[in-house]
Structure 1
Amino acid sequence: MPADRAAGRVGPGLPGGRGGPLVRRCPPERASDGEPEWVGGGEPEWVGGGEPEWVGGGEPEWVGDGEPKRASDGEEVAAMSPAQDVAALTRAASDAADRALADVDLDRAVAAIERLGRVALASMLDALRRRGLFTAPGDRHTVQEVLTRAHVVPEHRGLIRRWLTVLTREGLLAEDGGWLCATPGAAEATGPALDRAWAWIGTEWRAAMGAALTIEYARRNAERLPDLMTGAVPAFMLLFPEGGMRLARALYRESVTARYQHGAVAALVAEIARRRRPEQGPERRPEQGPERRPERGPEGRPERGPEGRPERGPERGPEGRPERGPEGRPERGPERGPEGRPVQGSERGPVRILEVGAGTGATTEAVLPALDGVAADYLYTDVSRYFLDRARERLRDRAWVRFARLDIDADPGPQGYAPGSFDVVVGGGVLNAARDTDASVRWLAGLLAPGGWLVLSEPTVEEYWVMTSLAFMMADPGDGRAETGATFLTLDQWHAVLDRAGLRRAVTLPGAGHPLERLGHRVFAATTGDGPGAVSPDLAQL
């Protein structure tokens, strides 16, 4: 375990972490003078009977200021300061994420992901050569000439401009006075050499990840890039061949970044839920009436696909990426919440969890088992009926999971979602597909109850293989990405988005020095900071 990630551990761990529960078995003595006052009255009862045993030996040390408080089962738990509480939450999520990678050779997996990026770059140049560009030494073209001669349709011109930018930055093209030309070694990256590179990365990816459907999908897109540029082949047909979800499901589950994010998000949601409703019994679940299907959304909005991404509109990389269902665009009617009325919840009762852009359910499948023992009301939403219908079938045995339509590119109020209705809002790689991330995050923040939490996983660096595949399903953004010409917001831009939404940043993973850090896939947890579980502004630096 890297030393920087070991620092800041609070107590022996949290449920799901290493070293047992964060519970101290303490004698009936107060930090200050006087007699102890047990929460709930009565005498202390030691777990397992007998005398208390200190974790690690020695005398008890309270994690925070104040006096010990008893949990509902009679154990004493030490109150933690907000900073310590968030440090413990971070540790629990980090430990859970690392456990998800326990059987993975991380160095090999990271190297495979980075090699895939280089192969995708070569595939960009190869696609341009197949359109008659940069075919001979000395060939020079302007950006506009590239777009015209390659017959790039208007909706993909922004993407191909980004291709030219990264090809120049990575040394496959050179720029001179507004003209672009291939560099001397560029030809060696295309043709037979490119075929060998794809074969190699397929073998290496399978060895590192245990499967290679991601490579199958990426290579299939690379082979069809000239047709994708011209619009002759719709990108969603390559993601959902024959209407199936085999490739889409793999994209959001197969890679080490996806596994890490799922583990971290699941631990964060579970720990936050337990802290929000500590009084709930372990087996209580909300009673559910017969499920009714929600109404469809406003006319003309695109369908979303895996992880909630829009079809040919905004879409992104793994764990929340591109989207749209193969069935095409849904008919639209007045937008409503589940069961045809505004989504609301009481301040007491089950923890109210909303997942947006749930898509293929990759994040859901990690979070739901982590909520065992928690009284929860889980609302699974997506813009596409294709994903909602399939999720209903897969999750039919979980009566506490409901389903509804929600478009992250529109105000949730008119769609039937009331302000302050949820304790936790979860998004697995979906918000990078929003047209205006600021607006979408602001709307989601408005759905949080006091002290509520927004938990997200998002890519924060350019992914070249995404630029040759999923990016063809993304609409041009209207936020900070429009200024930088990038596919994804950077880490600093994401922090700014959360700040502008009035949220307090508490968790950002992986931490500095982690093997996955340089890949740029991040997990964020931010809170309204004005209710149970509130944190102070300085926690943004933890």
Structure 2
Amino acid sequence: MSALNVLADRAGRAAISGADTSGVAEAIGRLDRLALLGIATELHRRTRLRNGGTHAPDQLALDLGAAERHRWIVAHWLDALHEEGLAGRAADGRFHDLYGPRRAELTAARTGMESARIALGYPPDLATMLLRSLGMLPELLRDEIGVQALLYPDGEPGAAEAVYRDNLVSRYLNAAAAEVLRDLAEQAGRPLRILELGAGIGATTADLLPVLAGRPVEFYLFTDLSPFFLDTARRRFGTGFLRYALLDISTDLPRQPGELDLVVAATMAHNAPTWGACSNRPPRCSRRAGGCCSSRPSASIPSRSPRCRSPCPREKEPAHQNGTTGAPVPVPTCAARSGSAGWSGQGCASRSIFPATRTRWPRCPSACSSPSADKEFT
């Protein structure tokens, strides 16, 4: 482990000091199981798998009435179910023998969810959101409701904060990421240029910005594929050195050479259809001694590596952002970029059930000038 990794880990552990982390991996596993059983129940209830036979994911997506841009997510669900022994998969990629959860099993899993969320430090909002999303899977797949309605019920941020900030894993990862940025800022010989990918509700941003207080920063480019999150962040953080842009990691990562000092990717790579290709692109924008800091939902702290699955699609996007993506792959840990140490959260190989939607991505922000416009930077 590098010296920077040691510092990051120490900062993360300090942020959760006093918490009992011995049951983190088991708790994530229980939440995983609940999500998978809920998905299996919907597939068993609404698709031809309940009648036996072997079927292609596309056929099952049609059974569910999935919107075109969400159809790929059904294949992802089936892969996850197969990995856990809840569905069979033939050599040709078709699925069969879907497990049909019993009512008593679902009740037990729901009961176990409460102890799991307590072990992970999640507030009650997390349990409410998880159960609501499982109950709304058909509507989410059909694009009749967006995930932002789950993250911000009644316009309140409680559920979003529960998922991305108010829990042991997020506190550990955000504190560690802040330590990486602090180390970089202390060594920087010029105003910093920072790109955050898939910034979402700004949970990580909120812990990074205090580190930059009083330091020279040329820009901090806050990006997401949803205008909703950009507008929310603009109201929350303001402008100053912050810039905002619509970006989609699955399609148009920056291609033009630039000079970024740091690329931040917090709990977002699961929305890339092929993270291997995605993770190879940011370095092309980091020509100086910059780094890539990628964090992910983690059983960490350190332990075995269960997969963390969330059952609902991303929010509905405007029509101009339509498109589909391929199935995501397990998220790798962060690697160092451009000769600088990077930091990686330890543990869970996160896999989301959220589909990503295609939208436009600005070019490498080597000349960001507008503090607020959502536009392409050239």
TM bracket, shorter-chain basis:
0.7 to 0.9
Report 1:100-249 matches (<5 A): 100-131=15-46, 133=48, 139-144=51-56, 146-174=60-88, 180-182=96-98, 186-187=99-100, 189-249=101-161
Q: CA offsets, 1:350-385, max 9 Å, x none?
A: 333333332211111111223355333442422444
398, 407, 430: which one aligns with 2:247: 407
Taking a change above 3 Å as real, the CA distance of residues 439 and 150 of structure 1, as seen in their structure-2 partners, is closer
What is aligned with 2:309?
A: 465
Question: Is contact 1:376-1:400 (8 Å) kept?
Answer: no
TM-score of the superposed pair, with normalisation by structure 1 = 0.53
Q: CA offsets, 1:50-92, max 9 Å, x none?
A: xxxxxxxxxxxxxxxxxxxxxxxxxxxxxxxxxxxxx322221
Larger radius of gyration: 1
Question: Is contact 1:257-1:521 (8 Å) kept?
Answer: no
**Distance in 2 separating the partners of 1:385 and 1:471:** 13
234, 253, 270: which one aligns with 1:392: 234
What is aligned with 1:353?
A: 194
Taking a change above 3 Å as real, the CA distance of residues 447 and 134 of structure 1, as seen in their structure-2 partners, is closer
**Larger RCO, structure (CA 8 Å, separation 6 or more):** 2
What is aligned with 1:420?
A: 258
Report 1:136-535 matches (<5 A): 139-144=51-56, 146-174=60-88, 180-182=96-98, 186-187=99-100, 189-277=101-189, 348=190, 350-372=191-213, 374-383=215-224, 384-396=226-238, 400-408=240-248, 409-410=251-252, 412=254, 419-434=257-272, 437=275, 440-441=278-279, 444-458=282-296, 463=307, 465-466=309-310, 468-470=311-313, 476-477=324-325, 482=326, 485=327, 487-491=328-332, 503-504=338-339, 506-510=341-345, 517=347, 519-520=348-349
Taking a change above 3 Å as real, the CA distance of residues 357 and 162 of structure 1, as seen in their structure-2 partners, is closer
Taking a change above 3 Å as real, the CA distance of residues 440 and 275 of structure 1, as seen in their structure-2 partners, is same
What is aligned with 1:290?
A: none
**Distance in 2 separating the partners of 1:176 and 1:441:** 31
Residue 509 of structure 1 aligns with an amino acid whose one-letter code is S
TM-score of the superposed pair, with normalisation by structure 2 = 0.73
**Distance in 2 separating the partners of 1:390 and 1:148:** 34
SS in 2 for 1:422: coil
Percent identity between matched residues is 25
Query: What is the number of equivalent residue pairs in this alignment?
Result: 333
Q: CA offsets, 1:274-310, max 9 Å, x none?
A: 0124xxxxxxxxxxxxxxxxxxxxxxxxxxxxxxxxx
What is aligned with 1:74?
A: none
Q: CA offsets, 1:177-217, max 9 Å, x none?
A: 866124xxx44x34343134223312441354051322221
**Distance in 2 separating the partners of 1:172 and 1:411:** 36
CA RMSD for the aligned pairs? 3.5
Residue 382 of structure 1 aligns with an amino acid whose one-letter code is T
Query: Counting helix residues as a fraction of each chain, which structure ranks higher?
Result: 2
Residue 341 of structure 2 aligns with an amino acid whose one-letter code is A
What is aligned with 2:10?
A: 95
Q: Which consecutive residues of structure 2, in runs of 5 or more, have no partner in the other structure?
A: 299-304, 318-322, 352-378
Taking a change above 3 Å as real, the CA distance of residues 455 and 170 of structure 1, as seen in their structure-2 partners, is closer
SS in 2 for 1:110: helix
1:219 to partner: Cα distance: 1.1
Q: Which consecutive residues of structure 1, in runs of 5 or more, have no partner in the other structure?
A: 1-7, 9-86, 278-347, 511-515, 523-542
Q: CA offsets, 1:122-180, max 9 Å, x none?
A: 11111123216555xxx413223544443344333322223223323322234578661
